[in-house]
A and B are shown apart, each in its own frame.
Chain A
Amino acid sequence: MSTFDSPAFRRFVETFADRLHERRDELTQLDSAIGDADHGINMDRGFSAVRGKLDELAAADLGGFSKGVGMTLISTVGGASGPLYGTFFLRLATSFGDRASATPDELGEALRAGLDGVRQRGKAELDDKTMVDAMSPGVDAYEAASADGMGAALAAAATAAAAGRDRITPLVARKGRASYLGERAANHQDPGATSTTILFESLRDAVAES
């Protein structure tokens, strides 16, 4: 497949929602070690709300669909994850505009816009031990591989996101509640980087299915 359309976006959102639900306790467990023990609960609540309105949201063009997902997350997730994932989908929406489908390059531009939005909202940089450490290498890998097609680029992105998630496990956090822990946050896997890796894996698998 060489374009990303509304059915593909819907499969992506459904897959992400399913996996967040399945891995809810794992994400919360990771968060209880270095945060405030609610990441899985909050993400599952938000994506359950998205799932509940999927028919309504999917009726819009690609931009409208993504905007609807973003607004729903902002209204239902709370904490830091709501604004961060909400902003990601809102920036995707702006980048998609009123297109019915996106080419591999256009999807890359949208993912880059989403990453920029997350960085601005969270004011996090690489090595702060946050979701940016999975998302940034994911987007870089997508762009580097996009000439090979959307499927190959998304596979590269998911692999790079997972590697980013694992790379920061030994680090001390510099943003979010984990930063209060100082050295005690080292050698714990980051929950936000974990859910972001699930996002890229869901995107890869949703597009591969078509």
Chain B
Amino acid sequence: MKKLMNAADDMVDEALAGMAAAHPDLIRVIEPNVIVRADAPRQGKVGIISGGGSGHEPMHGGFVGTGMLDAACAGAVFTSPVPDQMLAATKAVDGGAGVLHIVKNYTGDIMNFELAAELAQAEGIEVTSVILADDVAVKDSLYTAGRRGVGGTVLAEKIVGAAAEEGQDLAAVTALCQRVQDNVRSMGMALTSCTVPAAGKPTFEIGDDEMEIGVGIHGEPGRERRKLASADEITEALLTPILDDMPFSSGDKVLAFVNGMGGTPLIELYVIYNKVAQMCADRGVTIERNLVGSYITSLEMAGCSITLLKLDDEMTRLWDAPVHTAALRRGA
């Protein structure tokens, strides 16, 4: 294992301290490992918080700031944060208008957020939760824990954050977040594994001529292991299930998000985006907005994911609204 680190156990703490030192105008870090917007709490504004295991940077801490998240809870690498963190975050951002928890669909995350919500409600703070579950690689059935929350989470945090910033109430931002969830689909793939610092060795073995299609963001197994293929074939393998699942059809307006998994350069992501644009055009699907870059990662794993969100006018307007965070800045 080669990493820029001091000690594996100190990595999350030191990274958070580094973020606080780099962005004092945007954020502060409070105990226990919660990144909070510098000007929180904002009276009368709905608080938007998220969180999860570390190792997916810039998600979620890099999205704390104006027009996106009010706080993010950082767990150990790939491990859900504990309820104390979500409770501290909820209290730190509550401006009297309630707090929305944006939760990715993993068993641990769900239960820890649920406990935190009960504790916050016991202290008189109104809390709602929306679960993001957009990974079409996992069968959505009664016989699994359901789809994983992946790339759609980034889009939800931006759009819902903008709605809260312009003063929408808790019921409205909760409904909007659910609408984003209902209209977003993603799928990812890996060229290489990743190494959890505390584990010290790669999470899975993969040959130089192989790839994992349908991978999660923690190195969980995907749909299938295949021989390495061209970028165009990989794009088809990811985008076709997404287009068919929703389904996206002629006349739909979408936001297309091509995401790097941490170890893939932007030049490769644009090669993927080029094919995404062609395939959408072939189906008569209009890409109204896009995002290309590494925003929800799996440590140093090489690979990508594709996310499509079916836009309505309000979502498009909120996507365009000003945002100022460490990882995403536009119009502010």
A residues apposed to B, CB below 8 Å: 36-38, 42, 74-80, 82-84, 86-87, 121-122, 172, 174-177, 179-182, 184
Cβ of B112 and Cβ of A176 under 8 Å apart?
A: no
Question: Can you list, as one digit per residue, whether each of B77-111 has a CB less than 8 Å from chain A (1) or not (0)?
Answer: 01111111000000000000000000000111001
Q: How far is the CB of A193 from chain B (nearest CB, A)?
A: 15
Q: 18 more A-B contacts (CB under 8 A) besides A78-B112, A172-B143, A180-B144?
A: A37-B199, A74-B115, A75-B82, A75-B84, A76-B82, A78-B76, A78-B80, A78-B81, A79-B79, A80-B108, A83-B111, A83-B114, A86-B115, A174-B143, A176-B145, A177-B107, A180-B216, A182-B144
Distance between B52 CB and nearest chain A CB, rounded to angstroms: 11
Given A80-B108, A83-B111, also A74-B83 (CB < 8 A) = yes
Contact indicator A180/B82 (Cβ below 8 Å): no
B79 in complex: contacting residue of A78, A84, A87, A182, CB < 8 Å? A78
The 7 A-B pairs of least Cβ separation, nearest first, read A83-B111, A179-B144, A79-B108, A80-B108, A80-B107, A179-B145, A176-B107
B19 to chain A, nearest CB (A): 21
Q: Which residues of A contact B81 (CB under 8 A)?
A: 78
Q: Quick one: closest A residue to B214, CB to CB? A: A180
> Within 8 Å CB of A78, what residues of B?
75-76, 79-82, 108, 112
Interchain nearest-CB distance for A192 vs B (Å): 11
Whether A180 lies near B78 (C-beta < 8 A) is: no
The interface bits of chain B over 198-221 (1 if a CB of A lies within 8 angstroms of the residue's CB, else 0) are 010000000000000000101011
Residue in A75, A172, A180 whose beta carbon sits within 8 Å of that of B83 in the complex: A75
CA distance A79 to B112 in the complex (A): 8
Task: Give complex CA distance A102, B112 in Å.
Answer: 30
- Most-contacted residue by chain A among B80, B107, B115 (CB, 10 A): B107
A38 touches B145 (CB 8 A): no
- Secondary structure at chain B's binding surface: helix, strand, loop or mixed? loop
Residues of A within 8 A of B111 (CB): 80, 82-84, 121-122
Q: Could you give, for residues 306-327 of chain B, a 1 whenever the CB lies within 8 Å of some chain A CB and a 0 otherwise?
A: 0000000000000000000000
Docked CA distance A71–B108 (Å) = 16
In whole angstroms, how far apart are the Cα atoms of A121 and B112 in the complex?
10
Please, which residues of chain B bring their CB within 8 A of the CB of A176?
Answer: 107, 145
Whether B267 is near chain A, meaning CB under 8 Å from some CB there, is no
Q: Which residues of A contact B83 (CB under 8 A)?
A: 74-75, 83
A177 and B220 in contact, given A75-B84, A83-B112 (Cβ under 8 angstroms)? yes
Taking a contact as CB atoms under 8 Å apart, the answer to whether A82 and B112 are in contact is yes
Kindly identify, within residues 127 to 173 of chain B, every residue whose CB is under 8 Å from any CB belonging to chain A.
138-139, 142-145, 148
A38→B82 contact, CB < 8 A: no
Q: Report the Cα distance A179→B142, complex, angstroms.
A: 10
* CA–CA, A39 and B112, complex, Å: 16
A37 to B221, CA, bound (A): 14
Query: Can you list 5 A-B contacts with CB-CB less than 8 angstroms, sorted by A residue number?
Result: A74-B115, A78-B82, A83-B108, A175-B145, A177-B107
Residues of A within 8 A of B220 (CB): 36, 177, 180
Residue of A with least CB distance to B83? A74
- Set of chain A residues within 8 Å of B143, measured between Cβ atoms: 172, 174, 179
* A186 nearest CB across to chain B (Å): 13
The CA-CA distance from A172 to B139 in the complex, in Å, is 14
A85 to chain B, nearest CB (A): 11
Complex Cα distance A38/B219, Å?
14
Chain B residues contacting A38 (CB-CB under 8 Å) are: 79
* CB-CB nearest in chain A for B196: A37
CB distance from B102 to the nearest CB of A (A): 18
- The distance in angstroms between the C-alpha atoms of A174 and B143, with both chains bound, is 5
Q: Name A76's closest neighbour in chain B (CB-CB).
A: B82
